[in-house]
Copies of this chain bind each other. A is one copy, B any other.
Amino acid sequence: MEPSVDAGAAARRAAHNGAPTLHVRFSDADAIPFPTRTVERGDALYCAGEPLRSLYTVQSGCFKTVATFPSTDDDSAPHTQVTGFHFANETLGLDGVCTNRHESDAVALEPSVVRIMPVGILEPLCREYAAMQHELLAIMSAEIVRASRLALMLGTMPARERVAAFLLDFAERLEAGATPAGEHAIALLLPMTRADIGSYLGLELETVSRTLSKLQREGAIGLNGRQVRIVDRSMLEHQ
């Protein structure tokens, strides 16, 4: 009955601290013995255009979703962009419900396991259980908010802010998903390349690299390749 505990809490937290929190969960399905599937690093869970059979909840690992657009111009390169990164407990495939086809590719950034929830089963289930229906709606709504915040970030923030917000969001999601641990000097291991980050943030990979270096020089973060330590959180928040 109660509104979606997970998605709701996440969104409220986001609204509270201002940093775009960009994730979506789905907990009420926990009790149901859906099958799982393992996806190797670099492999696609699904591709754009494929018929939508299931929604997926990430059990472990990490995915990126990539949207492609035939450029308005036919003869120039199509626009492509990473539209999201997805960690444990987050749900994939929601954008495909409207067309019954997946609208993006979902690619594993590391060996990952997902829970498979067939849409043919999910919809009747939601008609049966009000709480589940509400949570599915809440998850989809949270995904709308997530995408809108990404748009807002791309439309209004300079590179420094985007990268800082990305790091803060990443750190927050890890805390939420796994270690509810300490506060200071959070260590992150980024599973994605600079190019992925850049694509997601609407920046070139060189700009991402430069910005990270600059943040390190100024003492906001520690940096060693894909290992990032958040040294001064408030400094990041004040970009």
Contacts and interface: CB of A to CB of B under 8 A. Distances in A.
Given A70-B18, A123-B134, A130-B123, A152 B98 contact: no
Interface of A: 3-4, 7-8, 11-12, 15, 18-20, 67, 69-74, 79-81, 83, 94-100, 103-104, 123-124, 126-128, 130, 133-134, 136-145, 147-157, 161, 164-165, 168, 199-202, 236-239
Copies in the complex: 2
B99 A238 contact: no
B15 A99 contact: yes
Contact of A69 (B18, B97, B134): B18
A101 to B, nearest CB: 8
Contacts of A239: 72-73
Given A83-B151, A155-B154, A156-B80, A11 B98 contact: yes
Contacts of A94: 141, 144
A147 B84 CA distance: 12
A12 B99 contact: yes
Contacts of A200: 155
B72 A19 contact: yes
A9 to B, nearest CB: 9
A67 B147 CA distance: 12
Contacts of A72: 18-19, 161, 164-165, 168, 236-239
A118 to B, nearest CB: 14
A57 to B, nearest CB: 16
A155 B199 contact: yes
A199 B8 CA distance: 28
12 contacts: A67-B149, A73-B237, A79-B156, A95-B141, A95-B145, A97-B137, A98-B141, A99-B145, A133-B133, A147-B148, A154-B155, A156-B202
A18 B74 CA distance: 9
Contacts of A148: 67, 83, 95, 103-104, 147, 150
